[in-house]
Amino acid sequence: MIPFGSQRAYGQDLATHLLNAHDNERLEVAQVRGAVARDLHGAFAEWEAQAHARTRCTNYLYSLSINPDQRQGRLTREQYLDYIERTEQRLGLAGQPRAVVFHVKEDRQGIPREHCHVIWSRIDVEQGKARHVAFDHEKLMTVTREFARDHGLRLPDGYNKDVVRARRGRGYQMGLYDKRAEELGGLSLEQHKRQVTAAWDRRDTARSFVRELEDMGYILATGRKDYLLVDLNGVMKSLPRLIDDKKVRISDVRAFLGKEFPTDSLPGVDEARALASAHRAAMELFASGEARAAREARENNRRAELQLRQQPRRQAVEQEAKALSERQRQARHEHAEHQKEARGQLRQGYLQEARRIKIERAAHRPKGLAAFLGRVTGVELITKKVQQYRDATRFKAFLAQKKDLAERQQRERATFERQQELQALAMQRRLRALELVEQRERKSLEVVLLKDHRIEERERDGRALTPSDPSRSHTDVFNEAAKAPIDLSAAFTRAATAPDGRGEQDGGAGRDPVQEEGKHTDAFNERAKAPIQLGAEFERASRGGDDGGSASGDTAQEPAPEAEVTIRRRKRTRERSEEPERNARRRRDRERGDDDPSPDTDPTPRRRRDRGLDRGR
């Protein structure tokens, strides 16, 4: 089991990544806790709002990916939850809002691999601060060891400190730059190393080595570092880092390439990428029109297939949006009718009460002598005034009730409209999140199509790698070479004919044949008596004969036909004759510990070159 955790922001982008159905065979949002919204985009938006409102925290999320070893069997949901609970207890995230997502995708061997993503909100809303997560790497390692011990799982070698310490070095873990380059159809870091290391082992001269790199699709360039390689896809790597030999340093590369290819004569990284882009465009023009049309048809078919797979999901959300719109329209109509009915009941109640009082007064109105006495004594007038006062009071009460009802209904209508607005906004957010997910899926498909296209280009141009076992290292090749039989007589003959390690490079002019024959015999006898160091012989052979030998540029690989775009070297800013003396001075300065040479030791300082002027040449 390998956990990987990090503090991060950009929750919307993370939610889009987690809901990408193109890169995953199956995905499941198992849990969303501590949020009103039940989807990832809404929950992460809530946690981001809490972070901005209550704290000044920027990385408000803690993301954890759990990758179990499929060879030991899949973990059950109870085991996943057990590991998650242990982790949040150890990291101090207990009780925090979280989301759990399960993915199933195919690995490089095509085997479905299940893994889990857990995202916590670090914001403690009650206390108004973010939970501090420190030493999470060591804590995750501890939790994993305890979990493996309790569930009887075997951990990978990375949990062994000795193994990790032995593996550390150049290229220990693939970075995001190399991973992205591999996803876009480029070679993997191991393949780059295998190619460049093989060329370095076969090196003869600097020109033949650079020519072989060009045949592989590399452009030698310079930048912030001296010697860089830019492939046809624009991927830039340092040349020493691609040589899978810890003994090779940048000083060795400078010593080998510095005379024929000084850094001031090499193109920059941007210029090399422009040359690679132009070369790719030229190769695309030379490609067959039928093949290009067939490839475009296949790509369009795959895009159509992706659109067909996306349609059911979009149709479900759009139908839900239409149903919500219809429900809201019906609810608005019912709400308006209900309020109208309430106003009608209030008015009808007032009118019925007034009619009842009027009928009751008419029934109790005095008649005859009582009416006459009432008019004479003034009782009728007083009664009429009292009735008018009561009618006015009742009418004022009716107006007050009507006003209160209108205000209450206005508040209810505003609340109701706000609820519907929030529902519409939530639906729009879901549609927008769906559009982001579909864009990410289309982008993933374009990456896959670009990768397939670049692989087809490498195969068509003959730059495809021969099938080999990626687990075979150069140490294994060296051990196999050590087991091979050795022709001692041929080795002695080479030693006798090249006693000084230079062979026939010095020529034979002005030498006495008898004296030379005696020297060869004495050298042969001395070499025959001396013990044979097989390890040194194999190491020298694996380096491709950089100790000397009779190899020259005439025996190197023939140059490939020049492409449409060629690299033009810049004008040299110093003479080659000054290079050995300058390198010797720099070596003496490094031995003394002085990084900057003094003016008296370096009377001719290197002239700074103007990149803008040089690139116009």
In this structure, are 522 and 603 located in the same domain? Answer: no
- State yes or no: pLDDT of 546 exceeds 80: no
Residue 380 is predicted with a pLDDT of: 86
Verify that 454 and 313 share a domain, yes or no. Answer: yes
Alpha carbons 219 and 230: distance in angstroms, whole number: 5
- Are 36 and 98 members of one domain? yes
Q: How many domains does the chain have?
A: 4
Give me the DSSP letters along 378-403: THHHHHHHHHHHHHHHHHHHHHHHHH
Structural domain includes residue 251:
no
Q: Which residues contact 209 (CB under 8 A, 6 or more apart)?
A: 199, 200, 203, 256, 257
Q: Is residue 248 domain-resident?
A: no
Residue 270 domain-assigned? Answer: no
Q: How far is CA 480 from CA 290, 449, 467, 476, in A?
A: 46, 39, 18, 6
Averaged over 468-482, what is the pLDDT? 42
Provide the token pair at 38: 């039940």
Mean pLDDT of 494-517: 43
Q: Indicate whether 346 and 398 sit together in one domain.
A: yes
Structural domain harbouring 545? 474-501+515-555
Give the domain-ending residue among 149, 167, 185.
167
Asked whether residue 349 falls in the same domain as residue 433, the answer is yes
CATH number at residue 27: 3.30.930
Q: Is 437 exposed, middle or buried (CB count within 10 Å of its CB: 0-12, 13-18, 19+)?
A: buried
Shared domain for 480 and 369, answered yes or no, is no
Q: Is 32 helix (H, G, I), strand (E, B) or coil?
A: strand
CA 42 from centroid of its chain's CA atoms: 23
Q: Based on the fold, state whether residues 440 and 412 are members of the same structural domain.
A: yes
Angle at 463 between CA 459 and CA 465, to 5 degrees: 85
237 in a structural domain: no
SS (H, E, C) 529-595: HCCCCHHHHHHHHHCCCCCCCCCCHHHCCCCCCCCCCCCCCCCCCCCHHHHHHHHHHHHHHHHHCCC
pLDDT tens for each residue of 581-606: 666 666 666 666 544 444 444 444 44
Do 162 and 13 fall within a single domain? yes
Q: In this structure, are 350 and 418 located in the same domain?
A: yes
Of the three residues 167, 199, 214, the one that is the final residue of a domain is 167
Supply the pLDDT for residue 107: 75
What residue type is 309 in one-letter code?
R
**Residue 86 located in a structural domain:** yes
Residue type, 89: Q
Is residue 269 domain-resident?
A: no
363-394 residue pLDDT tens: 888 888 888 888 888 888 898 899 899 999 99
Cβ atoms < 10 Å from Cβ of 464: 13
Same domain, 102 and 137: yes
Distance (Å, whole) CA 79 – CA 549? 63
The reply to whether 454 and 482 lie within a common domain is no
Tell me whether residue 407 is in a domain: yes
> CA nearest 570: which of 278, 262, 274, 273?
262
pLDDT of residue 502: 41
Q: Give the CA radius of gyration of the chain.
A: 42
Specify whether the CB–CB gap between 313 and 320 falls below 8 A: no
Q: In whole angstroms, what is the distance from residue 565 CA to residue 276 CA?
A: 8
pLDDT range class, residue 273, cuts 50, 70, 90: confident
Residues 304 and 448 both lie in one domain:
yes
> Is residue 362 in some structural domain?
yes
Q: Residue 39: which of 49, 31, 48 has the closest Cα?
A: 31
pTM score of the predicted model:
0.55
